[in-house]
Amino acid sequence: MTYRLFASLSFVLAGCAMHAHPVPDSPRWLTYRGAEGSGHGKHIVLIAADQEYRSEEALPMLARILSERHGFDCTVLFAQNQDGLVDPTQKTRQEDKAIVHDIPGIEYLQRADLMILFSRMITLSDEQIRPVIEYLDSGKPIVAIRTANHGFLQNFPYVVNGKPVRFGEDVLGGTFRNHHGNWHQDSTRGILVEAQQGNPILRGVVDIWGQSDVYRTYPEGQALPADCTALVYGQPLVGRNHDDAPNPEKEPLPIAWTKTWTGQKGLPARVFHCTMGSARDYQSAGLRRLSINAVYWCLGLEDQIPPANNVDLVGPYDPLDSGFDYAELGVVPKPVSAFR
């Protein structure tokens, strides 16, 4: 009996050690250990580094759902100021030629099975951009949200087959060219592509709506690149309410698609990009379902996506509105712990 008890205890302790989170705890980032679920054993690194759409609120929310309801280990990294505070009010290199952004923990991308990126026009040091480039060469998948398609400035130091890589155009399949919808004035209704109704990323998705506008990611008169598969089009509405009418002067444009990216090592990676995704957009269960289904697809777990995949919020979620009027919106630098 004693031997059996000891053996059982040893097994439990071994299991605990085996399932330790891949990243050590730190006050400079958030870690969420996965519960039981399809994502058990997979590690997702989420990077919040934008100045407009409150990624610092959206990505911890997604991490809580992915860990608690789906079993993924999650690590959330943030752009921080010199005082170690999460600071969406930092300028970009276009506004301050001396700015270099700091994302503590970005080296843990090497331990990630998936990167979820929500950045905007950031400039990293050589030391911090290196893990990003190594990730892009790894063949590991990418989920990119909203401003990630202009997530780095044009001097992105990455070359494949002798050609400089444009992160938005080449890796993600499109970059921000202009606001097709009316910026901070209208909203977007998602329209599922009929021919993709059987796509696992759309499984159970019935209603996508958000207050952010539609981006144009390719020149007028052209189309989404041939290597991209459009899943959802965005129809601009005439106002900022869910039931507002479509704007008859604005055609729908692609807002969510998949593609494959192949870096210097010749390893293909699955890519999902959605140009919706402000923190308030993610109050839409349809958008949360689309994004979480995409996580499963990126990781090759599409066979495990149920039609009623649980995308319920974990804890309160009442994010601030988008924009750059930080004082009016109540956006101030905060410690990482404020976003747990």
Q: Is the pLDDT reported for residue 265 higher than 90? A: yes
Tell me which amino acid residue 148 is.
Answer: A
Angle between helices 285-298 and 55-68 (to 10 degrees): 60
Read off the pLDDT band of 14 (50, 70, 90): very low
CA 290, 184, 170, 86: dihedral to nearest 10 degrees? -80
Kindly report, residue by residue over 138-168, the tens digit of the pLDDT.
Answer: 999 999 999 999 999 867 889 999 999 999 9
Helix, strand, coil percentages for the chain (3-state, nearest 5): 25, 20, 50
Q: Is 164 left (phi over 0), alpha (psi -120 to 50) or beta?
A: beta
CATH class of 26-181+255-318+327-339: alpha beta
Kindly report, residue by residue over 40-91, the tens digit of the pLDDT.
Answer: 999 999 999 999 999 999 999 999 999 999 999 999 999 999 999 999 999 9
Compute the average pLDDT of residues 163-189.
96
Q: Is 69 left (phi over 0), alpha (psi -120 to 50) or beta?
A: alpha
> Which two structure tokens, joined as six digits, stand for 253?
């444009």
Q: Provide the 3-class DSSP secondary structure of residue 292.
A: helix
Transcribe 299-330 into DSSP letters. TT-GGG--TT-----SS---PPPPSS-HHHHT
Q: For residue 124, what pLDDT is reported?
A: 96
Q: For residue 4, what pLDDT is reported?
A: 46
Cα separation, 257 vs 272, in Å, equals 6
DSSP 336: G
Any idea where the domains of the chain sit in the sequence?
26-181+255-318+327-339
